[in-house]
Amino acid sequence: MHRSIDAFTDSNTIVLRSKSRLRAHGYLKGVIIDIAYDYLLLKHWSHYSKVNIECFIDTFYRKANVAIEKYPGNAQAFVKSVIDSDLLISYGTLKGLEVAFQRIDSRLSGRVIAKETAVGYLPLLKREMPGLEQDFSQFFPLLVEHFKSKAGEPLKQHWLR
């Protein structure tokens, strides 16, 4: 499902328009838009989901804690850090985005950092947020429909649109 969502998202003209709003930058645009869309989803969660955001995240964390035993060591460590830091809810604020961008920068090579940083996108992202929010409001219902066309019945019931 994750690959299907990624393929749908990466080829979508609305997402491409969002990336073009960050035209002054290049390499990290896709990652920045992905995280910005996470921020916008949290901001507008109640427009799209029947499930309260805190309940959704708590359920995700509980299920992830069970499933984690089947993951390889590095994936276990990553999922554990997501849960321990309550990472998912942190994307709901601009400060949370800044912290996420700092984490991304800490994992970039010196070669990439010499060209651009995730934190360097923050002023542009703030300036372009109204347009990105319009893009998101057009894109996300399409993504929900794509998801529903691929998902089983219990997962479909979560989404309003």
DSSP annotation string for 56-86 = HHHHHHHHHHHHGGGS-HHHHHHHHHHHHTT
pLDDT at 21: 94
pTM of the model: 0.87
Average pLDDT on 83-111 reads: 90
Name the average pLDDT for the chain: 89
Share of the chain above pLDDT 70, in %: 93
Contacts of 41 (CB under 8 A, 6+ apart): 48, 136, 140
pLDDT at 81: 86
Reported as a single tens digit per residue, the pLDDT across 47-68 is 988 889 999 899 989 998 888 8
pLDDT at 158: 66
Contact by Cβ (8 Å): 36, 97: yes
Q: What is the dihedral of CA 65, 69, 72, 75, to 10 degrees?
A: 0
Average pLDDT on 1-18 reads: 90
Residue 109: is its pLDDT beyond 90?
yes
- The domain ranges of the chain are 2-151
pLDDT at 108: 93
Q: Is 92 exposed, middle or buried (0-12, 13-18, 19+ CB in 10 A)?
A: middle
Residue 120: is its pLDDT beyond 80?
yes
Angle in degrees, 0-180, between the axes of helices 122-150 and 29-43, rounded to the nearest 10 = 70
